[in-house]
Amino acid sequence: METITKATEEVKELTGSQAVLEACIAEGVDIIFGYPGGAIMPIYDALYDYKEKLQHILVRHEQGGIHAGQGYARTSGKVGVVFATSGPGATNLVTGLADAMIDSTPLVCITGQVFAHLLGTDAFQETDIINITMPVTKWNYQITDAEEIPTVLAKAFYLARSGRPGPVLIDISKNAQFQLFNYPGYTKCNHIRSYRPKPVIRKQYIDEAVALINAAKKPLVIFGQGVILGKAEKEFKNFIEKSGMPAAWTILGLSALPTDHPQNVGMLGMHGNYGPNVLTNECDVLIAVGMRFDDRVTGRLDKYAKQAKVIHLDIDPSEIDKNVKADIGIWGDCKETLPLLTMALEQKDRTEWLNVFAGYAKEEYEQCIQEEIYPKTEQLTMAEAIRIVNENTQGNAVIVTDVGQHQMVTCRYAKFNQSRSNVTSGGLGTMGFALPAAIGAKFGTPERTVVAVIGDGGIQMTLQELGTIMQTGINVKIMILNNQFLGMVRQWQQLFMDKRYSFVDIQSPNYVTLAQAYGIAGASVKDRENLEGAIKTMLAHDGSYLLEVMVGKENNVFPMVPQGCSVSEIRLK
Amino acid sequence: MYTSPDKQEYTITVYTENQVGLLNRIAIIFSRRKINVESLNTSPSEIAGIHRFTIVVEETLDTVIKVVRQIEKQVEVLKAYYNTNDEIVWQELALYKVLSEEITEKVKVERLLREYGARAVAIRKDFIVFETTGHREETNKLMKALEPYGLVEFVRSARVAIIKQSSGFHEKLKDFEKREPGEEVVENEYLGKRQAVFTM
């Protein structure tokens, strides 16, 4: 490769490892989550001299590293960077890659690889990570020559963050990490000829959509993470406000619109709110913004919004018509498409239509929500713990959730004032996500309170990351909602499998003692009279804190759209 | 295999960069959806450095459209097209090995070649290799004709196809090479030097 250094200048020689770190600095990376090992040792050796510029967080397991990278990316809006070694180090990233792929989280993962001459020889800690991760990465590439490093990394960062974001994995053989080469300097990538991050917006469809929305009597907007990823929260708010439309969210869209916004009508899908689910099947125009009609959102597809004209805005053309046929598909970045729509929309007052949602909300509150957040039962509920967190954080906290009942309850009841405040594993449903993701989330937004709400199942999947909290001294609030069951599976077994509780009875260690062993303060609470005080203590504590809340063993999450049912068949009990 | 009535043969033409691993990235799009690939061919295209995949599947239009969009989503894919059989001109090539002794004794080779538009590409004392090109039915016919005479080996290539309506990829490529204005336009000196960097 020709160098671009002028002949008069001294040619700068760097090792491949140094070039990797120079690339990170040039891309504005300030933190790396990782774990060293044989095949990535040259990079770690170089990192020793870059300690001032690049903070490295030593996690306890590579899966923890990648989930931390995801948490960081979700709260900061930047690309999460993860280092891991070859073989098991690399394969431990796979769950996180799949999670980041389905939830469109920008990541650059760098894995070490055995020497190039050993590739294919079943060398120690050799694994074909490129082929293993192909279906769960937006792009991946193996580098065996250091000269490729600057361009490939520039491409990696560009691909991770542009268009529909996603995880990128770069595998670098050990010889390339050691190799000295003439460093040509680093230039960011902003164009790959075979890659279209932003589809061209077609004006014709904008016009058609505007006409449809203006003529609509009962339009419903449903939005997903696309609004957040597109940094289009303001554009979205203007869009719904001008036309007075109700807006409902998917769990990854949560926090893009403040909870108390008068047009925010709640959550969609299986454990979503009553109104938006029922009225999906009554609206006349359904406007989907940056969401992908996941089966947990749509329920039974052949009975989903059949009466409505569907307008679908997405940056990824392959999402349009994938699950729900769109009458009008608007390809493009919603930061650009939404203002085009808003500009042409008529100012509308849709109080009457919003009142229909309010009616459903009232019914849901009376029949379901009230007894959850202000229970009269002896046992604590998950929802009341969330209510108390809301009251004491005023909706300003970042809430990280794991997967299961507590996740659904938290997403339903947590209040948010600002975007990028909800971090959860949506598409993949990765138990064990929350603890490491919360660590990353805190590094992504150090000035904010981060509360990780985790079930007694999920916490035990990535418990080892308490060690990361200990070593970094980071301030993360861990609230375990312990119902002594793998609650979501138990709920399904109760409702659909004749209460045959097959292997959902999970025991827990003494979490408080365990936290103590890691130097983390903690408490356990099981009485209502102590609950609020305990939560206040947790939030006020200077440093990380683990609070275990013992909740009712066999509480269920309702409302619920049973699998195979239409969204309008949602059950309140 | 059961074929649903609305399934039919589609030929998918994909223009791509030449990169290691891309074949796999494209193949897993089919295997993930349990779609059987009837035939797959990779070759150079009308433009130097750009590869052309020709993939044949038996599927419904709806599935084919979704698959094509997933293919186009791959970073190194420039463009993918799908066509029904009446929209393309296609050929397959087949080779047949027979024993010389058997075939020269029992068959009028000359008639055979004429009738099936075949050529003999190797003639040896011990065996002869015939070649035909055509649609599957045509290459099958010669296989059937040779079977009674001890067809030793038979092999057929993947389909290659030309899209009748297509005016080639030259103009399209210019569109792809146009730079879209981005928020942070930084000059990238590696642009256009890709070959130097990504040659495998």
User: For A177-209, how does the pLDDT look when each residue is reduced to its tens digit (9 = 90+)?
Assistant: 999 999 999 999 999 999 989 888 989 999 999
User: How would residue A3 be classed by pLDDT, with cut points 50, 70 and 90?
Assistant: very low
Q: What is residue B2's predicted lDDT score, i.e. its pLDDT?
A: 58
Work out the average pLDDT over A500-517.
98
The phi and psi torsions of A282 (rounded to 5 degrees) equal -125, -15
Q: Where exactly does CATH 3.40.50.970 map onto chain A?
A: 13-182, 380-554
Cα gap A435→A230, rounded to integer Å:
26
* Domain B89-156 = CATH 3.40.50.620: no
Nearest C-alpha of chain B: how many angstroms from A200? 10
Q: Report yes or no: B33 at the A interface, CB cutoff 8 Å.
A: no
Q: Provide the b/e sequence for A236-257 (b: ≥16 CB within 10 Å).
A: bbbbbbbbbbbbbbbbbbbbbb
Residues of A in contact with B21 (CB under 8 A): 130-131, 134, 140
Q: What is residue B177's predicted lDDT score, i.e. its pLDDT?
A: 79
Residues of B in contact with A152 (CB under 8 A): 197
**A131, A153, A191: best mutation site toward chain B, by most B Cβ within 10 Å?**
A191
Q: State yes or no: pLDDT of A282 exceeds 80.
A: yes
Q: What is residue B3's predicted lDDT score, i.e. its pLDDT?
A: 56
Greater confidence (B198 vs A219) lies with A219
| Whether residue A199 has a cis bond before it, omega within 30° of 0 | no
**Hey, are the CB atoms on B187 and A193 less than 8 Å from each other?**
no
Q: What is residue A10's predicted lDDT score, i.e. its pLDDT?
A: 67
Residues A280 and A218 sit within 8 Å (Cβ to Cβ): no
**Hey, are the CB atoms on B66 and A322 less than 8 Å from each other?**
yes
Work out the average pLDDT over A501-514.
98
ipTM of the complex: 0.91
Q: What is residue A281's predicted lDDT score, i.e. its pLDDT?
A: 97
Q: Where exactly does CATH 3.40.50.1220 map onto chain A?
A: 203-356
Considering only the beta carbons, identify the residue of A142, A191, A195 that sits closest to B75.
A195
Query: In the CATH scheme, what architecture does the domain A13-182 have?
Result: 3-Layer(aba) Sandwich (3.40)
**Hey, are the CB atoms on B21 and A131 less than 8 Å from each other?**
yes
* Structural tokens at position A325: 């046929």
Nearest C-alpha of chain B: how many angstroms from A487? 31
Note the residue count of chain B.
200
Greater confidence (B196 vs A472) lies with A472
Q: State yes or no: pLDDT of A291 exceeds 90.
A: yes
Residues of A in contact with B179 (CB under 8 A): 190-191
**Hey, are the CB atoms on A151 and B197 less than 8 Å from each other?**
yes
Work out the average pLDDT over A95-103.
98
Greater confidence (A541 vs B21) lies with A541
Q: State yes or no: pLDDT of A126 exceeds 70.
A: yes
Interface of A with B in 129-158 (CB under 8 A): 130-131, 134-135, 138-140, 142, 147-148, 151-152, 154
**Hey, are the CB atoms on A159 and B182 less than 8 Å from each other?**
no
Helix (H/G/I), strand (E/B), else coil: A314: strand
Q: Give the residue numbers of A annotated as catalytic, written as ranges.
A: 62, 124-125, 174, 488
Residues A31 and A24 sit within 8 Å (Cβ to Cβ): no
User: Tens of pLDDT along A13-23?
Assistant: 999 999 999 99
Residues of B in contact with A133 (CB under 8 A): none
User: How would residue A1 be classed by pLDDT, with cut points 50, 70 and 90?
Assistant: very low
Neighbour count for residue A25 (Cβ, 10 Å): 13
Q: State yes or no: pLDDT of A146 exceeds 50.
A: yes
Q: What is A380-554's CATH topology?
A: Rossmann fold (3.40.50)
User: Tens of pLDDT along A382-429?
Assistant: 999 999 999 999 999 999 999 999 999 999 999 999 999 999 999 999
Q: Percent of chain A scored above 90 by pLDDT?
A: 97
Helix (H/G/I), strand (E/B), else coil: A529: helix
Q: What is the mean pLDDT of chain A?
A: 96
Nearest C-alpha of chain B: how many angstroms from A143? 10
Q: State yes or no: pLDDT of A6 exceeds 70.
A: no
**Hey, are the CB atoms on A151 and B65 less than 8 Å from each other?**
no
**Hey, are the CB atoms on A139 and B75 less than 8 Å from each other?**
yes
**Hey, are the CB atoms on B180 and A198 less than 8 Å from each other?**
yes
Nearest C-alpha of chain A: how many angstroms from B162? 22
Q: State yes or no: pLDDT of A448 exceeds 80.
A: yes
Cα gap A452→A434, rounded to integer Å:
6
pTM over 0.90: yes
The partner residues of A524 in beta bridges, in order of sequence, read A548
Work out the average pLDDT over A121-147.
97
> In which order are the strands placed within the sheet that holds A398-401?
A422-423, A398-401, A450-455, A477-482, A545-550, A521-525
Beta strands of A346-476 (E only): which ranges? 398-401, 422-423, 450-455
Nearest C-alpha of chain B: how many angstroms from A155? 11
Cα gap A253→A420, rounded to integer Å:
9
Q: Domain A203-356: what homologous superfamily?
A: TPP-binding domain (3.40.50.1220)
- Domain spans, chain B: 89-156
Parts of chain B with a pLDDT under 70:
1-5, 179-200
In chain A, the largest separation of any two C-alpha atoms, in whole Å, equals 81
Q: What is residue A468's predicted lDDT score, i.e. its pLDDT?
A: 98
